[in-house]
Amino acid sequence: MSLARRIAPEVARVLLGLVFFVFGLNGFFHFLPQPPHEGTSATFLGGLAASGYFFPLLKSTEVVGGALLLMKRYVPLALVLLAPIIVNIFAFHAALDHAGVGLAVVLVALEIGLAYAHRKAFAPLLTAKTAKAERASELEPAPAE
């Protein structure tokens, strides 16, 4: 395996981990300035903030997922935790706030690249029927006519 193929997933893991760990912590400690939002994006974010629970849950999930990636522990689980967040980041910037779409595309690429590097961990999730389910259906009695 070439050096680039070995290093690329590690770089992607660290970059993705840093982004979510730092921005997740920023949601609690506000050490990075946030640009103001206007129009529809401001209305959308205001609605999420008004719920009271959404942003603490989101930022906690980002911190946990980012920390798992940085520690190189449970990487497939971290990718599963962060996938819906990344989809929503991309959708938000594609539909409402085009200024951040570049970073959103980078996050999608990093997620897909890491998921591909860990594809063996996801293989059981992508089977139509598990072996256990097949054995159970074989043991069921035939329907009576």
60-110 pLDDT, tens digit per residue, is 999 999 999 999 999 999 999 999 999 999 999 999 999 999 999 999 999
pLDDT, residue 139, reads 65
pLDDT at position 16 over 90: yes
Task: Evaluate whether 69 touches 75 at the Cβ level (below 8 Å).
Answer: yes
Mean pLDDT, range 129-140, rounded to an integer? 70
pLDDT at 143 over 70: no
Q: What are the start-end ranges of the E strands in 33-131?
A: none
Q: What is the pLDDT of residue 5?
A: 85
Which one, of 38, 114, 107, 49, lies nearest residue 77 by Cα? Answer: 114
Q: How far is the CA of 37 from the CAs of 26, 34, 42, 145, in angstroms?
A: 17, 9, 5, 65
pLDDT (average), residues 118-142: 79
How many angstroms separate the Cα of 110 from the Cα of each of 27, 41, 122?
22, 25, 16
Confidence (pLDDT) at 112: 97
Closest of 83, 81, 90, 89 to residue 57, by C-alpha: 81
Tens of pLDDT, residue by residue over 28-62, are: 999 999 889 999 999 999 999 999 999 999 999 99
- Output the pLDDT for position 4: 82
